[in-house]
Structure 1
Amino acid sequence: MTGHGFIVGAARSGSGKTSVAIGLMRAFRRRGVQVRGAKSGPDYIDPGFHAAATGQPGVNLDTWAMSPALLASLARQAAEQAELTIVESAMGLFDGIRAEPGRSGAAADLARLFGLPVLLVLDVSGQSQTAAAIAKGFAAFDPDVRIAGVVLNQVASERHDRLAREAIEEIGIPVVGSIRRNPDMALPERHLGLVQASEHGAIDAFIERLADTMEQSIDLDAVRQLAGPLEPAGGDETPILDPPAQRIALAQDAAFSFVYPHVIAHWRAAGAEIVPFSPLADEGPDESCGVCWLPGGYPELHAGRLAACENFRHAMRRFAQTRPVHGECGGFMMLGETLEDADGECHTMLGLLGHSTSFAKRKMNLGYRQARLRVDCAIGKAGDTIRGHEFHYARLIDPGSDEPLADIADGAGNAIGPSGARRGHVTGTFFHAIAKG
């Protein structure tokens, strides 16, 4: 199969690119096209929507956290499994961090690396011909990033459409679609971004409505024609996180769900078996497993219910006596002594680590992270550097007295200090691991 692809980009978050990308994925799937979704940057929610829209697993392509070889491997897999790969940009098309060339985390890096054209979504509310100046700026900003077409979003009327469209096409950029203002296209959000696809009521019907809108508003034939070949050369999967055991107990429900698709896929390809369990259903990890993984999620929204799950609590404590347990972000919060919810009510957590966290006294923490591990644990060996990110509003209100798990630096390599905690077989951190450094 010869795969093709393009990037759905925009000037900023909130421009409508997620709705456009998801709608296009389903619209092409309706036409019988084998389509896959990909997300630039460290996003663990949008790939779930991509999977729901396409019927195939989503994937992250993160130029900062992943080596060029790993990126090529993941992109090649997508191209081999689909006729069309639609890559959704995080934030603005050129938004990333200052880093070595091609490793900023911006979707524009992927455009350069793989030669993928960009379908630019422009929110034209409050403007008309000025949209052409914005489009021209995108086209001229980097000669190695090709703006192949524009979709106008939030169009108010036929006149509004005509003024913006004619101005953009006069500078030589085709406008392939025009989407009228429609509040029904908005995806529900919460403090870490979109509500997860698994929690969205009637998700398939919602995606069908998005596809209806794209079919009515966008020239799908023109979009298909602007897609470029996706033919990554080389690639090596070794920089992905190694499976921490042959059988991995993975917490998986509305409270714990933030796991990167490429990590799970790699573990399975390496022969590991994933054994899910639900803390919210008062289930514990399967005793046949060699490690227990509590991923990120929303324990702060379910703290009272989790605190009442006695079977889960006892099973976790029993498991941790003899085998590794690791928690990321929300999982790290669950491993601590207490969690204070948004209303200021304090709930007892597992107590396998000594810290306490609060969502009432919240502060956003966001950014790439490099973690140098101090000890062997589920995400690597002592001395390994793991690349990933933090994104959370909860904060430590009592750090506890456990030994730190890792020394953390930001994306530019500036030291932040010790982070996470370890006690016996138990480790945890607010840091989400993506790949080996």
Structure 2
Amino acid sequence: MNTAIILDHLRTHGAPLTLSRSGVVTWDDAEFHRAAHAADPEGYVLTALVPGVHPGQRARVLLQTLLSSRADLPEPTRAILDKATRALLFGLPPADVITVLLTVRRRRANHKHVTRAIATFVLDHPDAELLIAARRPALRDCLEHALGKNTARACLRQILDGTIDSPELHRKLLRFTANPARALERVRQLYAPGTHGVPVLTEPIAPLEPIREREPIVTVTNRGDIAATLVHLYRGGPAGELGPALAGYVADTVRGLPRLNGHIALVLDTSESMRGYGDREWALLSQAEALRLTLAEVCTQLTVIEVGAAQTSATDLAGGVLDALEVGVVPLNSTALGSPDLVVVVTDGYENQLPGDLARVAATLPSIGISTPIVLCQALFTGSDDRTLRDPAPALPHTAFWHQDDFAPLLPWLFARTPGGADWIRTATHRYLDARPEGATR
């Protein structure tokens, strides 16, 4: 299945995964997930780790990954699935994970990787005591499903009898935990008398994406370090000091990211409206330029076509797209020739030369044999800007960005539409998993 289709679905289909008391799972896109997993189990679960994916979709991916057999998969793929599963177990809100594990129990999935996943979550979660207090019956049922009801209760009897050094207890229970002493105590808690109903924790113990701290008031200089530095440069600040700082901020942004083996054409709106005025002067243009600098570091070939002639003429987005599609354009950082794999239009949405022309051109290109994907990226001042009257091509795939933090989900969304995008996402998420701490401790 196409990586871009999977990623778009995971980003936009936000209905929560729910399990009723009668055991009915609300999973309206189950067939989509089954097909995506069957096509490429590893690529499917790694796509769920991409920034910007909806938490409800990550829960679905975890569920599908647990339900599916791994009998025919090679050992390296199984290892990646195990690492990704662990990241999802501790990177999702605990209530979502418990819903997934209860669904697995209802479906009677008894694969070995299910046993490992349930035991890991119940026994090794750093806040297991709080989770047990909130959802004791649910977690006890999950553990009994993983180990077998009789086996789990036999382990409890050995723990209560004090025979905790027996090989049998290790084989049946303790081999699934990184901290046997703590696991023994949690098994006792699962079967201890008491009530449940304490509010369950809502925050993941090891979030898959960093929690962003934002200023209460948005200005032109608190939308990321790259854009802020550019604003100071545009205002006439000392280039000798700001230039090296700018290069350093760009390097920090792309650190750890792989290079995309492909050719991106960037149609960059530099019109007067992108410059802005008053308190918002340079806000949009600096953010668009920050994206260009980032793409230049990550892409092997980047062509930039400016429209709007640096704030002096009308915005001709359609003309820029046609220029980008011309065969033989020389990329700025390469001597190679060729058509782009993707055309990215970056604009504030105002098309003041032949309004609607971009939409008409985009609709006509496939009929004359041009299949190069074209996407629209809209620069905003804040994430709450009204874009109702600023959509020059509603039929094109589109997204918006206003802060440097938005580049993390934006880059994979763009690259997924190129021939090398699936490999780029796979490499980037492999690096993410390798850098992620194996233990889920605070």
- Report the TM-score when normalising by structure 2: 0.28
By percentage of residues, which structure has more helix? 2
By percentage of residues, which structure has more strand? 1
Q: Which has the larger radius of gyration?
A: 2
- Report the TM-score when normalising by structure 1: 0.28
